[in-house]
Amino acid sequence: MPPVFIFIPADFVYEKPDLRLHMKGPMTKLEKPVLMATIGGAQGIRGEVRAKAYTADPTALGDYGHLHSMDGRSFEILEIREMKNVVVVRFRGINDRNAAEALNGLELYIERDNLPDDELEEDEFFYADLEGLEAVDDKGVSYGTITGVFDFGAGDLLELKGPGKRPVLIPFSEASVLEIDLEDGTILIDPLAAGLVDDPQEISKLASGKPKKKK
């Protein structure tokens, strides 16, 4: 087969395609991000995506302002509707199926301050508020601070991380977590019910040191 030659005009300039999806304006870095949704597959050819919303009302996903990815991108919801167990969302600037498919698996967040505290009941709270709280028992023994809240399908779990210790998961249940004190920055736990100790005598040994100083 003879070689094929392609004529390129002298004034032709190759421009690298802009692969940044919807990254207009300054990049956003959230101080206390709250996970609001996870994007799934594309829906149709107009740039719509299916998404799992973590709001009580899935269609209220866009009521808290722009959503943000952890790499700094900002997303504005133009349209949203429910479909079975997900919502179908159309974002500004995402106009075709290829752009929509590139978002598959992306997690979207908002800043904690955008959540309306006045809608909470007295005994309600946002999971984001738990992160950073110190887990202590009734003797003042510390078991670390909460570094995450997870749900793998069998109930909510709290991740605790102490200095020099590996993270551990405890069930977020009434038996394990006895009290939540956001003002004091602590949660009161039952270490036996939480699975942190196997023998009540272990608790006595842990508490035999100096009294824990409150922060």
The rounded average pLDDT for each run of 10 residues, N- to C-terminus, in the chain (215 residues) is: 43 39 53 88 96 90 90 94 93 96 95 73 74 92 91 83 90 93 93 86 53 40
Domain boundary (114, 135, 155) is at 114
Domain annotation covers residue 103: yes
- Residue 205: the pLDDT is 55
Q: Is 213 helix (H, G, I), strand (E, B) or coil?
A: coil
- Residue 94 near residue 22, CB atoms below 8 Å: yes
Q: Are residues 106 and 38 located together in one domain of the fold?
A: yes
Q: Are residues 107 and 161 located together in one domain of the fold?
A: no
- Residue 105: the pLDDT is 95
C-beta neighbour count of 139 within 10 angstroms:
13
Domain that holds residue 49: 34-114
**CATH no. for residue 159?**
2.30.30.240
Domain annotation covers residue 64: yes
Residue 196 is encoded by which pair of tokens?
Answer: 């942190």
The model's pTM is: 0.60
Amino acid occupying residue 160: L
Phi and psi at 114, nearest 5°, equal -80, -10
- Residue 200: the pLDDT is 65
Q: Are residues 153 and 81 located together in one domain of the fold?
A: no
Domain boundary (51, 82, 114) is at 114
The CA distance from 115 to 121, in Å, is 14
- Residue 187 near residue 179, CB atoms below 8 Å: yes
